[in-house]
Amino acid sequence: MSVDLNGRTILVSGAARGLGAAFAQACCSAGARIAVADIDADGAESTAQKLREQGGCAEAFAVDIADPGAVDVLALDVAKRLGGIDGLLNNAALATGIGGKLFEDIDIDQWDQVMRINVRGTWLMTKAFSPMLRRSAKGGRILNIASDTALWGAPRLLHYVASKGAIISMTRSLSREFGEDGVTVNALAPGLVRVQATEYVPEERKQLYVDGAAIRRPQVPDDTVGAAVFLLSDASAFVSGQILPVNGGFISA
């Protein structure tokens, strides 16, 4: 069984930049048609345009995953323009600039915002696209992006860690609800990937990830995307409910 995405349509949320854009690029290079979705409409179009310039097939869509109405409109738009999807990569999340606070210092509004985007948004996207994934002739695939912070209990980041812990639990539960339809549900738990969204992370935390890993170097997007392609492909048809840490051996599931 080859690890490619030929003939599949994959929606990648939060794909305007950073790791999301890298996921979209990797899936496109593996043969998939890509739906690039992001709250930043211009950024989504820029990513889609780059993929098209490289010979890929990509369409851009604007969505705020925290808004139930916007997610429903997105699903209708994707169905109209692309006919449906075979894979959903739930990457969109709030991570930038929220770390560094002790749990007592996190304000309620920010806690709710993180949960609304990271947890509820993932649920809303999965719910909205579940009919398409169940109908997929290729076999539906859902890949959630969690974080290894939920595996080792990173301090000074409780709201984000809790949200990604919820993603891990949701992945396991959803895999059982989707299983009878042949739809797989898995999650990646990346380490500290060096992208624009993590530039604010203190150097001490960045060095912790390098010093504590088996492979002692900074993690970049290309280190992460291969596992995503595998879990969205035919090669992973009997893999579901699994959490795969991709962090150079810093921590295991």
Cβ contact 247:209 at 8 Å: yes
Which CATH number fits the domain 9-243, given the four candidates 3.40.50.720, 1.10.760.10, 2.60.120.10, 3.30.70.2860?
3.40.50.720
What phi and psi, each to the nearest 5 degrees, are found at residue 30? -85, 0
DSSP-based three-state secondary structure for 46: helix
Q: What is the pLDDT of residue 221?
A: 94
Residues with active-site annotation: 160
Buried b (16+ CB within 10 A) or exposed e, 63-86: bebbeeebbeebbebbeeebebbb
Pairing relation of β-strands 9-13 and 184-190? unpaired
Residue 212 token pair: 């504590």
Residue 157 has, within 13 A of its CA and on its CB side, a CA count of 24
Give the separation between CA 214 and CA 98, rounded to whole angstroms: 28
At 97 the pLDDT is 85
Q: What is the pLDDT of residue 96?
A: 86
The pLDDT value recorded for residue 238 is 97
Query: Domain residues of the chain, as ranges?
Result: 9-243
C-beta of residue 191 within 8 angstroms of C-beta of residue 209: yes
In this prediction, residue 252 carries a pLDDT of 80
- What string of pLDDT tens digits covers the 253 residues of the chain? 678 999 999 999 999 999 999 999 999 999 999 999 999 999 999 999 999 999 999 999 999 999 999 999 999 999 999 999 999 999 999 998 888 999 999 999 999 999 999 999 999 999 999 999 999 999 999 999 999 999 999 999 999 999 999 999 999 999 999 999 999 999 999 999 998 878 888 899 999 999 999 999 999 999 999 999 999 999 999 999 999 999 999 988 7
Instruction: Tally DSSP H helices, then E strands, for the chain.
Output: 9, 7
